[in-house]
Amino acid sequence: MTPIRKGTVVKTVKDITIGAALTVALLQGSMALQSCGGSSDEGYQQQTSYKGRPVRTYITEMKPGEFKITDEVAVSKESEAGAIVRYFDGRRDTLTVAEARGLVRSDSTTRDYYSNPNHYHSHYHHSSSLSNALLWGGMGYMLGRNNSSQYYNESRERQYTSGVYANSSVYQRSSGIHDSYHSYRKSSASRPSSGRSGFFSRSGRSFGG
């Protein structure tokens, strides 16, 4: 009976040892999953960005190569957004948001902004091209302007945006579109960095109101 009893004790100890090891492994795995979950939440907040109100922009080529925004309105649906362009020679064209995004990301006067905002600002790439009017007008927020940009500067932003409008009256009429972005940015900056609350707790839609 003694050998059997010893064997039983040894087996029990092994079981306990294995069980303890499994428990530790499971706990570590659980902690790792929780840690990954936290990182995911933080990444979600960092990557989700404000795209602004859906906007329809009217742009006129005042003289060859010089484009200015002559009117701009916030619309209720993204499908209604886009740009209506009237060229100096009388031609008229309509750009969807996707087409406008493709233009500003490929045009030589604006593409550098997306890859290196600091280089864009420091080398004064700002010009009067069509892509600049699209980038710095109210539609620019929909095209990814200032998304997760560490080089954001509100005074410079206002200087650039005001320069793409035909005159101060047009700019003032569009100021609500820009102000809603600045208000959102300030409010989001004051929120805790963790936890899904407020804007980020809602769906992926990110139109400002």
* Strand 55-63 with 82-86, pairing: parallel
- For 35-90, how does the pLDDT look when each residue is reduced to its tens digit (9 = 90+)? 444 433 333 233 345 666 799 999 999 999 999 999 999 999 999 999 999 999 99
- Residue among 85, 82, 94, 84 nearest 55 (CA): 82
Domain assignment present for 86: yes
One DSSP character per residue, the chain reads -HHHHHHHHHHHHHHHHHHHHHHHHHHHHHHHHHHHHHHHHHHHHHH-----S-EEEEEEEEETTEEEEEEEEE-SSGGG-EEEEE-TTS-EEEE-HHHHHHHHHHSTTTHHHHH-HHHHHHTT---SSHHHHHHHSGGGGTTTTTTT-TT--HHHHHHHHHHTBSSHHHHHHHHHHHHHHHHHHHHHHTS-SSS--GGGGS-S-----
Give yes or no for residue 140 having a pLDDT over 60: yes
Q: Is residue 156 part of a domain?
A: yes
Cβ distance 94 to 195 under 8 Å?
no
Residue 132, domain member (yes or no) = yes
Q: Is residue 38 part of a domain?
A: no
Domain presence at residue 202: no
Query: What is the pLDDT confidence band of residue 118, given thresholds at 50, 70 and 90?
Result: confident
Instruction: Using alpha carbons, list the distances in angstroms from residue 100 to 92, 110, 127, 159.
Output: 15, 12, 17, 22
**Residue 153 is part of which domain span?**
55-185
| pLDDT at residue 24 in the model | 47
Question: 67 in a domain, yes or no?
Answer: yes
Residue 31 is assigned to a structural domain of this protein: no
The answer to whether residue 63 is domain-embedded is yes
Average pLDDT rounded to a whole number, residues 171-176 = 91
> With bands split at pLDDT 50, 70 and 90, how would you rate the model's confidence at 144?
confident
The contacts of residue 135 (CB under 8 Å, 6+ apart) are 104, 110, 113, 143, 145
104, pLDDT greater than 90: yes
Quote the number of domains for the chain.
Answer: 1
